[in-house]
Amino acid sequence: MKLTKTIITTSDGSKTIAIKEWNEHYHSTHGAIQESKHVYIDAGLNAIGNNISPVRILEFGFGTGLNALLTFQHAEQNNLPVEYHSIEAFPVDKNLIEQLDYPEKLDLPRTVFNKMHQTPFYENIKLTGNFSLYKIKQKFEDFHPKETYYNLVYFDVFGARVQPELWQPAILQKAYQALTKNGIFVTYAAKGQLKRDLKVLGFTIETLSGPPGKREMIRAVKI
């Protein structure tokens, strides 16, 4: 199905992409930057121990690059080395990326954001001394992770309402395999079935308060 993508403004004033045919968005309409920061930076990156360097992150769904940009900002502000790997099968068109306002909203140079998008797939690019980016152009279904390599997984796929197949144990298991012992998995979702599936895989589950507009979110730790 051909998907129609348009830019919309969310409640915190930052933009995101809407998919008309699915009535779905790349981020929460209650605040794109707020949601990404709450789920992936505050509940994820901030929960990683100080003794880990570099922090190796695997993202499911590069999308607009907002999570990557927020992570870059955190790495720079905290002088924290980060290796950021991100999987994306359907990169966002350049004309939509140009309409996103994240660098301006986060007071970061547009050149950094552009470079993240222009970085070819399968090339390891050092954006600064602290932050390197490696993008993987693949469907999650076909992805085989580097096992026990990552400290943190950002599980940021579209909702189960529109892509239920991406929330199945077979995909979640890839995240589990990718993580080191004590590695952290974070996602904006909080469904009971997801918690049960993660538990069966070998995670311990924490239910945390969600970003604006969402009561709960999940943080899971590989034991």
Residue ranges in 22-141 assigned as alpha helix (H): 32-36, 66-78, 94-97, 102-105, 110-118
C-beta nearest to ligand SAM: residue:
63
Least distance (Å) between residue 176 CB and ligand SAM: 17
Which residues are CB-neighbours of 2 under 8 A, at least 6 positions away?
A: 21
Task: Give, as ranges, the residues between 101 and 140 that touch ligand SAM (CB under 6 A).
Answer: 139-140
Q: Is 134 helix (H, G, I), strand (E, B) or coil?
A: strand
Comparing CB distances to ligand SAM, the nearer of 141 and 204 is 141
Q: Does residue 28 interact with ligand SAM by CB under 6 A? A: no
Q: Does residue 66 interact with ligand SAM by CB under 6 A? A: yes
Q: Residue 191 and residue 151: Cα distance in Å, rounded?
A: 23
Instruction: Single out the residue of 44, 61, 145, 211 in contact with ligand SAM (rule: CB under 6 A).
Output: 61
Q: Residue 210 and residue 179: Cα distance in Å, rounded?
A: 23
Which residues are CB-neighbours of 50 under 8 A, at least 6 positions away?
A: none
At 183, phi and psi to the nearest 5? -65, 150
String of contacts with ligand SAM for each residue 146-175, x by CB under 6 A: ----------xxx----x------------
Q: Does residue 89 interact with ligand SAM by CB under 6 A? A: yes
Comparing CB distances to ligand SAM, the nearer of 46 and 182 is 46
Q: Point out which span in 6-14, 84-92, 179-187, 189-197 binds ligand SAM (CB under 6 A).
A: 84-92
Which residues are CB-neighbours of 160 under 8 A, at least 6 positions away?
A: 166, 167, 189, 191, 194
* Footprint of ligand SAM (CB under 6 A): 26, 36, 59, 61, 63-64, 66-67, 87-90, 139-141, 156-158, 163
